[in-house]
Structure 1
């Protein structure tokens, strides 16, 4: 028996059969190093090939569109736009091709967990009267033999609590709003399951989500299994963009992380199962960042446990339908990620998490935020160059040709993940050709989040 502090409460726990001593060998190591290097080389050669042929493509496209001879465009215009295109290739196309290569690495087959332990399903909720019923009904319909449902109402001021009380579920009522972290930890305190599954109150669950997630606990080094999160609908431009974004982040990034390093860096709130013993060992969720799911995943990795990914375990979430809601959400997410990087800066470039620490974390931080500043710089500099060029119409024509090429490359980066995830539809395929405005908005939001974090502005869930 041992005592662990969780959310300010001392809990007495005992070892459970799903948990055991970790192997002396580190679970975090590069898989298939030769294939990883080969994938990087091939991706670099393809990117350099595109770079070498790109000026000729632009000239041909200009002749096709405008009918003007290529000599109409001064050399310096080509040089300026070539430089920005090179930045795009280095920061976007090369990583995409490299990650595609990583997703094709052979997967080490490990016999999945065949036992079906008791599972606790925890759903934190705050003012979700429009969606909580659907969430509970999907949880009650899960195809799993033994589980409990615990709803933590975090001081809702609408009809959320009366709706919850209509169903045969356990309810924890917090009389005042204490935040998502407190709600999650209160749920953990009451949970009886050896596996604890978390989802959000605006999500709907695939009936087999628990079976797939529980099977992922294949060995003692696996502390958590993350599922796939998808928007419920994609019947508008904004929802289609988020669908493409979600699928790219999971079918490409998460799959590449798992196949190259045997772990993923983030366990999403709407679809993740943890070993209860690992949650208690970490001390539960911490209220120190706005990205508690990212924070606890890295905390778990620092203790030697892996988080893996199971794409068949699907949770359908309510994506943002308006730009105002998206802005609030993404600024919170981006600030939370910056806070997590600060809290776990000791992992960066270390061997604590293997490839996650040595590559994925630095790439996400420096490329993710660095590219946002570069993109905003280009949008600021380009109009200025047009004005001072003395040939603004020619410059705009040349820039439009580059934008067409960039959009086609971006469309490929959206369509291929959709095909891999078997989620490609005509509407999503067409939407993939209009991603640049959405990417620019996301870059702007990252910069705003960075500014807010530097100013230490308050933010809540």
Structure 2
């Protein structure tokens, strides 16, 4: 926490005040904040290296070169809990002072570690047979523990990679050159655009979205509004039809009464009727700003762009603690994470709503896949593998409802985890094989695909660290437990690393929100458990029982207007 607040205050002190939160100013780099970042990274890498080196340096727990071995009478009884007293001579050149004499309880690992020379001394002096002690199982236990410790070290390294990624994005967003290549386009020969509003039982919110779209700053003759009524059983169709009666030339509904459930399936059916060059997708609870359509569509003047994504801002942020924490998460995810990937020419993600897709690009990859839970992640990587760019427009703000209760949030995060992991299983191998993409782009794509898998990996790392701490014989266990605990806390905090949250609060110039930062530990734990449960369910239950994915609709809270 000290590091976060230091970085935040250092950047705030250097950065001049601004009226527009996204103006790409470049403050002077504060050496103190940069030094803290590198101290953190170097300390983490050094700790891992020292722990790995200690594995070989402490393999034998007995003192080196013991001169005499005195064994209690329990040796004759072959008791595995015998105590060996190592008598160290006073001569420093032969082993050290007598103060180092100690009793060494025999553990399974230490029995196996007794050198043949020591065993021979015991057998000769006491007429015993040390090789009859149960060493075979001890050897296996020690090998298992060493294997677990090395696995834990690998997990710690992965967590450190994600930590470095978050720090890199934060520093780039605070001090790097910002890319907004399409933000200045305001007057142009605009292409035809179809707006698809995905709606399943959305009677409480659909009217607000349609009204806002009717008022956007875009040529009306080139904007077709298509509410996609997906098998709704409430008054959604009735509300849509009322708008159609008022604006028959601007609103053309698509009423879907059967077919596969899910947003991807509904979009697939509705897209068949589209004749425009560009489609823009909204969920029914989203309210676009007046200039949003122009800002999104302007990116498609670049012929290499296949998809574009805008920024999502919570509308009900002041409801309770959860909505405030989700506001911090959204700020970090878009203001820092997405924009940094845009700055660094990496892989910004199409988010499924507040985003546009070029029809030619969509047709080139085979359209929407209706058997996925996260059609946005699936589309992002299918476009990437066909050399289409996805870009992020940070100034395209749209307003959404976020969950107001923890059970709703828990279900939402589980659905996201399953959908994202599904994209990981489908596209990671192809991404690794595709040599046409730059190496850094492929690496960032793999890290983006694997982000939801890190939660169960964190839990596995914790368990390994605890086992190693209580049952291991080497100092690797202590260092490993500390590294896994601290790097996981700093890396995966509520899906927006705490570094990024602090930077996003600064960039948005809503500084009072920084006081909520410690409460993100609650969201971190909830997300950690929910994602791990969803991943385990997906890998075991869904796979073994061949269950179909189930779409859990997010609860709406606004009253019908």
TM-score bracket, shorter-length normalisation:
0.7 to 0.9
Map of 2:521 onto structure 1 = 436
The SS at the match of 1:196 is strand
Structure 2 unmatched runs, 5+: 1-33, 48-148, 472-481, 552-561
Moved more, 174-183 or 213-222: 174-183
Q: Are positions 1:145 and 2:138 aligned together?
A: no
1:329/1:255 Cα in 2 relative to 1: closer, same or farther (>3 Å)?
A: same
1:353/1:449 Cα in 2 relative to 1: closer, same or farther (>3 Å)?
A: farther
Larger-gyration structure (1/2) = 2
Map of 1:95 onto structure 2 = 165
Alignment root-mean-square deviation, CA: 3.6
Q: Are positions 1:124 and 2:198 aligned together?
A: yes
Q: Give the Cα separation in 1 of the matches to 2:217 and 2:441.
A: 36
Superposition deviation, residue 450 in structure 1: 1.0
Judge conservation of contact 2:309–2:356 (CA < 8 Å) in 1.
Answer: yes
1:355/1:261 Cα in 2 relative to 1: closer, same or farther (>3 Å)?
A: farther
Map of 2:326 onto structure 1 = 242
Moved more, 282-291 or 355-364: 355-364
Alignment of 1:308-387 (within 5 A): 308-344=391-427, 345-348=429-432, 350-354=434-438, 357-366=441-450, 368-375=452-459, 378=462
Judge conservation of contact 1:411–1:434 (CA < 8 Å) in 2.
Answer: no
**Which one of 150, 154, 177 corresponds to residue 106 of structure 1?**
177
1:118/1:325 Cα in 2 relative to 1: closer, same or farther (>3 Å)?
A: same
1:89-123 per-residue CA deviation (whole Å, 9 max, x = no partner) reads: 82564332211233344356756663322211111
Structure 1 unmatched runs, 5+: 1-40, 55-79, 389-398
1:355/1:231 Cα in 2 relative to 1: closer, same or farther (>3 Å)?
A: farther
Map of 2:510 onto structure 1 = 424
Q: Give the Cα separation in 2 of the matches to 1:341 and 1:226.
A: 20
1:304-345 per-residue CA deviation (whole Å, 9 max, x = no partner) reads: 110100011112111111122112211111111111112113
Superposition deviation, residue 204 in structure 1: 0.9
Q: Give the Cα separation in 1 of the matches to 2:458 and 2:321.
A: 25
Judge conservation of contact 1:118–1:193 (CA < 8 Å) in 2.
Answer: yes
The SS at the match of 2:283 is coil
Q: Give the Cα separation in 1 of the matches to 2:439 and 2:211.
A: 39
Map of 2:345 onto structure 1 = 261
Map of 1:70 onto structure 2 = none
Moved more, 373-382 or 89-98: 373-382
Moved more, 411-420 or 303-312: 411-420
Q: Give the Cα separation in 2 of the matches to 1:119 and 1:356.
A: 33
Superposition deviation, residue 157 in structure 1: 0.7
Q: Structure 1 length as normaliser, TM-score? A: 0.72
Q: Give the Cα separation in 2 of the matches to 1:425 and 1:134.
A: 30
The SS at the match of 1:156 is coil
Judge conservation of contact 2:431–2:446 (CA < 8 Å) in 1.
Answer: no
The SS at the match of 1:223 is strand
Map of 1:154 onto structure 2 = 230
Q: Give the Cα separation in 1 of the matches to 2:391 and 2:273.
A: 25
1:200-219 per-residue CA deviation (whole Å, 9 max, x = no partner) reads: 01111111111111112242
How many residues in Structure 1 have an aligned counterpart in Structure 2?
A: 380
Q: Give the Cα separation in 2 of the matches to 1:284 and 1:412.
A: 37
**Runs ≥4 residues deviating over 6 A:** 41-44, 86-89, 379-386
Judge conservation of contact 1:376–1:444 (CA < 8 Å) in 2.
Answer: no
Superposition deviation, residue 271 in structure 1: 0.6
Q: Structure 2 length as normaliser, TM-score? A: 0.60
1:385/1:323 Cα in 2 relative to 1: closer, same or farther (>3 Å)?
A: farther
Q: Give the Cα separation in 2 of the matches to 1:196 and 1:276.
A: 7
Q: Are positions 1:207 and 2:290 aligned together?
A: yes
Q: Are positions 1:276 and 2:359 aligned together?
A: yes
1:26-55 per-residue CA deviation (whole Å, 9 max, x = no partner) reads: xxxxxxxxxxxxxxx97862324666999x
Q: Give the Cα separation in 2 of the matches to 1:251 and 1:349.
A: 31
